[in-house]
Structure 1
Amino acid sequence: MSTPVHYPPPPLPEHEARNWAMAAHLSPLVIALLSGGILAAIAPLVIWLLYRQRSWLVDDQAKEALNFQITLAIAYVVGLVTLVFLVGVLIWAAAFVLAIVFAIQGSVAASRGERYRYPISIRFVR
């Protein structure tokens, strides 16, 4: 009996890699609207797990989007804790606006095949 040979997955065409990188940035916005923000990190995580070996751009940008979504989750928890002092409302509002602005900037950069770094993000996944 011979051992089965496992080949690496084929690389993604550049236009497809750009589309998946854009999806990694924009899909958390859609999911956040549908789930109230709770599941926003799921889409970049799934995209990263499925396509990280097929494109350097998707690997890089999905990790970046995932890290930002985790950072946002922390900001929302801090906002919840400080809600008693009314500071939480400001934290939530700022996080909401930054999430939209940065996701759009990231998706535009990804559509050009460029790397985007979120200005406010803790790098949990490297």
Structure 2
Amino acid sequence: MTEMEQQKSAEITQDSKNLALLLWIGTLFFGFIPGLIFYLVKADDAYIKAQSMEALNWSITAILAYLAAFMLSFIVIGVFLIPVIGICHLIFCIMGAVAASKGNPFRVPFTLRLIK
């Protein structure tokens, strides 16, 4: 670990890491609700706010993708897309939880950045 990473990790408290971990696990099971709650309640903690914003953006993107796949399921393409979106949701939430437990910032690729 480089000196810069150690300083960055030292600034983030263990409590913030634990809350961010719970945020990503909650996002896996409850969608946008944990991200919205943490975004509104923990606005004083920069790390939690950044991670909740990312989780909320990912949840909104996943919901829009599920809606598009549902509409496309009438022409059979969506039937194949729904499991792919579910696997992406699982993988990105796990990646977010692992990064949060280490105190690293995590940005989900392919996410619409609607909340800034």
Regarding TM over 0.5, the answer is yes
Q: Which residue identity lines up with residue 16 of structure 1 in the other structure?
A: D
**Structure 1 match to 2:39:** 48
**Structure 1 match to 2:7:** none
Instruction: Give 1:20 deviation, angstroms.
Output: 1.2
CA distance in 2, matches of 1:78, 1:101: 20
Q: Is 1:23 aligned with 2:22?
A: yes
CA distance in 2, matches of 1:48, 1:15: 18
2:56 to 51, 66, 78: 66
SS of the residue corresponding to residue 80 of structure 1 reads helix
In the TM superposition, what whole-angstrom CA distance separates every residue of 1:71-91 from its partner, at most 9, and x where no partner exists?
000001001110111111122
For structure 1, the residue ranges without an aligned partner over 5 or more in a row are: 1-12, 32-39
Superposed CA RMSD in Å reads 1.1
Higher relative contact order (CA 8 A, sep 6+): 2
* Larger of the two Rg values belongs to structure: 1
The structure in which a higher percent of residues are helix is 2
Query: What stretches of structure 1 move > 4 A for 4+ residues in a row?
Result: none
SS of the residue corresponding to residue 74 of structure 2 reads helix
* Number of equivalenced pairs: 105
Instruction: Give 1:106 deviation, angstroms.
Output: 0.6
CA distance in 2, matches of 1:52, 1:78: 32
Q: TM-score, normalized by length of structure 2?
A: 0.86
**Structure 1 match to 2:81:** 91
Q: Is 1:104 aligned with 2:94?
A: yes
For structure 2, the residue ranges without an aligned partner over 5 or more in a row are: 1-11
Q: Which residue identity lines up with residue 91 of structure 2 in the other structure?
A: V
